[in-house]
Structure 1
Amino acid sequence: MARDAPSIDAYGQGGFRLSGAWRAGSLLIVQDAAQAWAVAAMAELTVDSLAPVFAAGRHEVEFLLLGTGPANALPPRAVRDALAGAGMGLEFMDTAAAARLYNVLTAEGRRLAAALIAI
């Protein structure tokens, strides 16, 4: 079943085209709602920066799809441990790959959150 999630139509130049509208900066999509995300680099990724993901709970978010920026990078241990402790999975990859995968997974009806660092 497809979700009523926004589509990522384009990415790059410091932002995303989301369902036809340009949004500058990084992006957090939780429960099919997109919001600006203050994380501009992996060094800024903290458990607190993902508070909306944890607030949604594992019944709404089976896993977090994390776009790590221009290159793939291992998220901080505290983030990995917090997600595991909340019963949520984690998939991480460079933002370009994550943006493409997001559209596929939402079309499949997967319950995911996306945290995408702008490139």
Structure 2
Amino acid sequence: MQLNEITFTSATPIDGYGPGFFRVGGQVMEGAILVTEQGAKPWGGLEDAATLLALAGQVDVVFIGTGGEIAPLPAGLRSELEAAGIGAEIMASDAACRTYNVLLSEGRRVAAALLPVGG
């Protein structure tokens, strides 16, 4: 098997995560975050639909990491995102980080909205 190194030249990868924090582009951020190709910023969590809806036209899909376990979205959030032309994929935050990085490295228009994993 041959492994290829991925280099992020202009995009912002998720470097790691731990109990209550994420490391994005070398910077540690605590709590829930939203990560796009341009960078990371705090996110208000699953009740903060406005921040995700603001991504309309910029991303095709947002990976929503619900912490250590998969959890359902609040009623209506998925339909609001779809109405705005944003696909939503729900998964545990660790899987969302990995999936975001892979698709980002392929040049895809993706974002990750992440709730921290517990400790």
TM-score range (shorter-chain normalised) is 0.7 to 0.9
Q: What 5-or-longer segments of structure 2 have no aligned partner?
A: 1-7
Question: Would the aligned equivalents of 1:3 and 1:32 in 2 still touch at CA under 8 Å?
Answer: no
Residues of 2 paired with 1:62 and 1:29: CA distance?
Answer: 14
Q: TM-score, normalised by structure 1?
A: 0.82
Q: What 5-or-longer segments of structure 1 have no aligned partner?
A: 40-44
Over 3 Å counting, the alpha-carbon distance change for 1:56 and 1:38 in structure 2 is closer
1:5 aligns with 2:11: yes
Give the CA deviation at 1:17: 1.1
- SS of match in other structure, 1:75: coil
Question: Would the aligned equivalents of 1:31 and 1:60 in 2 still touch at CA under 8 Å?
Answer: no
Structure showing greater radius of gyration is 2
- SS of match in other structure, 2:59: coil
1:106 aligns with 2:104: yes
Percent same amino acid at aligned positions? 40
Q: TM-score, normalised by structure 2?
A: 0.82
Match of 2:34 among 28, 31, 35: 28
1:54 aligns with 2:60: no
Over 3 Å counting, the alpha-carbon distance change for 1:55 and 1:77 in structure 2 is same
Structure 1 vs Structure 2 CA RMSD: 1.7
Question: Would the aligned equivalents of 1:16 and 1:118 in 2 still touch at CA under 8 Å?
Answer: yes
Residues of 1 paired with 2:52 and 2:43: CA distance?
Answer: 12
Question: Would the aligned equivalents of 1:67 and 1:117 in 2 still touch at CA under 8 Å?
Answer: yes
Residues of 2 paired with 1:21 and 1:85: CA distance?
Answer: 33
Runs of 4+ in 1 over 6 A off after TM superposition: none
> Which structure carries more helix by proportion?
1
